[in-house]
Amino acid sequence: MGRPGMGLPPLGAPGVGALVALALGTVGLTLTYGPAQGALFLIGGALGLSLYHAAFGFTSAWRVFILDGRGRGLRVQMLLLAMAVLLFFPALSSGTLFGNEVRGLVSPAGLGVIAGAFIFGIGMQLGGGCASGTLFTAGGGNARMLITLVFFIVGSLLGTVHFDWWASLPSLEPMALWQPFGAWGGIALSLAIFGAIALMTLRVERRRHGTLEQAPDSPVHGAARWLRGPWPLVAGAVALVVLNFLTLAISGRPWGITAAFALWGAKIAQLVGIDPTAWGYWQRPANAQALQSSIFADITTIMNFGIIAGAMLAASLAGRFAPSLRIPLRSVIAAVVGGLMLGYGARIAYGCNIGAYFSGIASGSLHGYLWAVAAFAGNILGVKLRPWFFMERRTSRADG
């Protein structure tokens, strides 16, 4: 199946459906909301395909390091962040990119971020994925992750109920590293931090195993690999950085995911007779406007839809789209609990592994660094809880 020169498997109904959705969605959004909206939907599709083919899981990389001391995934994440700050800081410090105004995802760094990221970190391990991981694995046919996604949305809505209370807790004013140090000073400091983390993973891995883990050989070679996968992990990192930078250029701000989940939850709440406008979060001008508008006018929403379609296309190209509803009860419980924690934690922490960690640090935001530390601590606890839910041995086998 993976020999060089073999043709692609038939796409089947899911793959054809994904292609049709990407094509019609791009045209429809372009005609209704303008070319930028159509382009962002396609970028979402490319993100979904890249995440799936590279199996770029933040959750699994952290779990592997916590359990086994293998740091290859974490080192690639540091490379991802290094490439991002090199691209983002000059643009954000100047305020414009290709003539368009741009701004970073910079939020207060305080107790709410610590609590929310810690909760999110536990949810990563119980839910089986992060925000991007939930979307691309659900789009790729993982039925269990659909459960996580549903309760991710519920948790996000609940987070908006208490958002103002968490935001009122002590915190530092929003600040980006490029503000006090300039673009290149901020880049130098950031690269030093990423380099120190990468060196730490090297020392831990060599001490525990003697040698460094090597990337597995791909069963598919040549041009077919780029269509069918699997991609090298580094290729996935490059793709995510470039696509995030395109998102910044077109939308004026970096890639995010979970604000859309809160919006979807609020829309559903309205349908069943609950009025979310009574909560302070939905009285903020930008959120109030999003709630009053169509979800297809929301940038984060249409990019999320694109991620799901792109992952479905990738899974079909790989010949691995085969959903199964045979999910153990404890795994279902973990998906429910994990999803609620992911959604609630992301909302009160000003973002998830994408909006706070990847795009937050790419923006130079202090809250992104604080989020990473607290979320990693949450992952340590989540890893300890996994055996009860999944009946697994102490292993690093990844699922997201």
pLDDT, tens digit, 9 for 90 and up, residues 219-234: 877 888 888 889 999 9
Alpha-carbon span 118 to 358, nearest angstrom: 16
362 Cα distance to chain centroid:
13
- Is 348 contained in some domain? yes
Alpha-carbon span 214 to 343, nearest angstrom: 34
- Is 359 contained in some domain? yes
pLDDT tens sequence across 94-109: 999 999 999 999 999 9
pLDDT of 271 higher than 90: yes
pLDDT of 4 higher than 80: no
Cβ atoms 54, 231 nearer than 8 A: yes
Q: What is the mean pLDDT of residues 327-337?
A: 94
- Is 311 contained in some domain? yes
* pLDDT, the chain, mean: 93
User: In the block, which residue shows the tokens 């993973």?
Assistant: 201
Q: What is the mean pLDDT of residues 155-160?
A: 98
Q: Of 44, 38, 18, whose CA–CA distance to 354 is shortest?
A: 44
Alpha-carbon span 271 to 264, nearest angstrom: 11
- Is 8 contained in some domain? no
Question: Range of 160's domain?
Answer: 13-390
Burial class for 394, CB neighbours closer than 10 Å (0-12, 13-18, 19+)? exposed
- Is 7 contained in some domain? no
Q: What is the pTM of this model?
A: 0.94
Q: How many domains does the chain fold into?
A: 1
| pLDDT for position 296 | 97
Cβ atoms 287, 3 nearer than 8 A: no
266 CB-side CA count, 13 A: 29
pLDDT of 356 higher than 60: yes
pLDDT of 38 higher than 50: yes
| pLDDT for position 361 | 98
| pLDDT for position 217 | 83
pLDDT of 400 higher than 70: no
pLDDT of 394 higher than 60: no
pLDDT of 340 higher than 80: yes
Q: What is the mean pLDDT of residues 341-353?
A: 98
- Please, which pLDDT band fits residue 1 given cuts at 50, 70 and 90? very low
Alpha-carbon span 67 to 363, nearest angstrom: 30
pLDDT of 10 higher than 90: no
| pLDDT for position 382 | 97
Strands 109-110 and 171-172: antiparallel
Q: What are phi and psi of 100, to 5 degrees?
A: -105, 145
| pLDDT for position 324 | 85
CA distances from residue 312 to 202, 303, 353 in whole angstroms, order as listed: 35, 14, 21
Q: Which residues contact 384 (CB under 8 A, 6 or more apart)?
A: none
How many CB atoms sit inside 10 A of residue 98's CB? Answer: 9
Alpha-carbon span 75 to 72, nearest angstrom: 5
- Is 335 contained in some domain? yes
pLDDT of 395 higher than 80: no
| pLDDT for position 113 | 98
| pLDDT for position 398 | 39
| pLDDT for position 393 | 55
* Buried/exposed code over 326-359 (b: 16+ C-beta within 10 A; e: otherwise): eeeeebeebbbbbbbbbbbbbbbbbbbbbbbbbb
- Is 276 contained in some domain? yes
- Is 400 contained in some domain? no
* Token output for 347: 């909302």
Report the DSSP beta bridge partners of residue 97. Answer: 100
Alpha-carbon span 122 to 346, nearest angstrom: 12
pLDDT of 391 higher than 80: no
